[in-house]
Amino acid sequence: MNEEIRYDDINSALQRLSLTMDAAELHGTFCGRLSSGQGSEESQWMRELIGERDEANLQARDDVMLIAKLLGAMVEQLNDAELHFQLLLPEEVSLVERTEALAAWCEGFLYGYGIAV
């Protein structure tokens, strides 16, 4: 994943936005939707995921922008001719935690693909 976008940063943003999914599940959901071939209506996806947020809340706006940046990076990676795609999983954690995050990513992928088709 892009060096500027870290699992922990996305996870923190999701928590501040009071969303129940973690960073891996979010990444999987977006990947599933993108992989469906139904187009990448990113702004609509962001509204569906996050809902309407108070524009005056600067922290919420920054969190939404970080998630949008993640989505943009994913689109670039999935379209990269050299296949530099990486799953967004936690680093430097136990194998059990990485496996749980991978399971959440897969769950998100199936969900995202399923709602897109």
Model-level pTM?
0.86
The first and second tokens of residue 53, run together, are 């947020």
- Superfamily of domain 7-116, CATH level 4: YgfB uncharacterised protein family PF03695 (1.20.120.740)
Q: Contact, 9 vs 96, CB < 8 A? A: no
Residue 1 scores a pLDDT above 70: no
- What pLDDT is recorded for position 4? 77
- Condensed to tens digits (0 to 9), the pLDDT of residues 34-51 reads 888 876 676 777 777 777
Domain boundaries, the chain: 7-116
- Condensed to tens digits (0 to 9), the pLDDT of residues 68-110 reads 899 889 889 888 888 888 999 999 999 999 999 999 999 999 9
Query: 71, exposed or middle or buried, with CB in 10 Å at 0-12, 13-18, 19+?
Result: buried
The first and second tokens of residue 113, run together, are 């693909």
